Amino acid sequence: MSAVRAGVLAVVLGATVSQVSGAGPATPADATVAATVEQPRSFGHVLGDVLTQRVLLEHAGRPLQPGAVPSAARVDLWLERRPSRIEMDAEGRRWLAIDYQLINAPRALSAIALPAMKLATASGPTLALPAWPISIAPLTPPAAFGQGDLQALRPDRPVAALATGAIERQLRLSLAALLAVLLAWLGWWAWRNAAEARRLPFAQAWRELGRIDDPTSAQAWRAVHRALNTTAGHAVHGASLPRLLDEAPHLRPLEARLEEFYRESTRRFFAGEPAAAQGEAAYPLGALCRALRDAEKRHRR
């Protein structure tokens, strides 16, 4: 009898010690327990809203380390889960924050639910999160009210005309400046051509030939000779023609015609042949002078 009383006393003392020490029965690591969850508001959500679930990472006073946090993924027609994160509150407790974004809008007020899930922990029980129903609403009613200005379609809004006065003034100034530049360039070009016609030897010869009535006269031949001598800077004759072409290479394409010119000039002025015998009328003196003038003009550009 005394042995029975001793056993009962031991059991009572053990229970008392357990209550005083605060230790409870251990939870198996593979057990599933209900998680402590702070749920988002259940109503008044529309397209684009973000709903956050916060799960306390703690059980029976012991902190828990999640084995793997929920990944970002499309959940269903209405929700998309964003990357999860761990937060700490003012009391130093750790919470797992899971964000869901509403990615579709219903046609009418509807009820959906944040999904239930189980969250495995590294060294403790699995935390079970229940489904959480919420209501979602359309952004606009399916039909317009049809009262006052609340119509299905609104008239086009008139667009105010932009002030273009400053732009037009700037455009006119730009066009005036462009016209002034073009006129200045045209005047410079005309002055340059007129100056070269007065200054360049073959241009002077060509102008002089235009004033001579007989283009085959000795005066016309002397005008071309004078232009060749001025270009070379010394008297030029048939034997010194290569020197002229070396000093004025822009005349080299006309070498054959210049050689013929000096042969005709020698026969005319030094051989004593009559004009009819030397075929003077047939020689294209004007064409040669024009070709020399054009070569001179191209060289000066």
Q: Which of 242, 253, 240 is nearest to 296 (CA)?
A: 253
Kindly state the tokens that stand for 181. Answer: 């530049």
**In whole angstroms, what is the distance from residue 96 CA to residue 25 CA?**
26
Class of the 32-136 domain? mainly beta
Length of the chain: 301
Q: What is the mean pLDDT of residues 91-115?
A: 94
Locate 249 and state its tokens: 């290479």
- Count Cβ atoms within 10 A of the Cβ of residue 108 and give its class: 0-12 exposed, 13-18 middle, 19 or more buried: exposed
Q: Are 111 and 135 in contact (CB under 8 A)?
A: yes
The least confident of 2-11, 43-52, 178-187, 227-236 is 2-11
pLDDT in tens, 234-263: 988 888 889 989 888 999 999 899 998 888
pLDDT by residue (tens digit) across 138-180? 988 777 777 777 777 778 888 888 889 999 999 999 999 999 9
204 near 232, Cβ under 8 Å?
no
The answer, yes or no, to whether residue 45 has pLDDT greater than 50, is yes
User: What pLDDT shows up at residue 9?
Assistant: 38
Q: What is the pLDDT of residue 272?
A: 59
Per DSSP, helices labelled H in the chain are 2-21, 165-199, 201-211, 218-232, 241-247, 255-269, 275-278, 285-300
From 45, 40, 39, 37, select the one nearest 111 (Cα to Cα): 45
Q: How confident is the model at residue 3 (pLDDT cuts 50, 70, 90)?
A: very low
Q: What average pLDDT does range 94-110 have in this prediction?
A: 94
Cβ 251 vs Cβ 244: under 8 Å: yes
> HSE on the CB side for 21, CA within 13 Å?
9
Most confidently modeled range among 3-17, 159-173, 200-214: 159-173
Ranges of CATH 2.60.40 domains, the chain: 32-136
Average pLDDT, the chain: 83
* Res. 40 pLDDT band, cuts 50 70 90: very high
Q: Is the pLDDT of residue 4 over 50?
A: no
More confident residue, 85 or 274: 85
Q: What is the pTM of this model?
A: 0.44
Residues facing 96 on adjacent strands: 55, 86
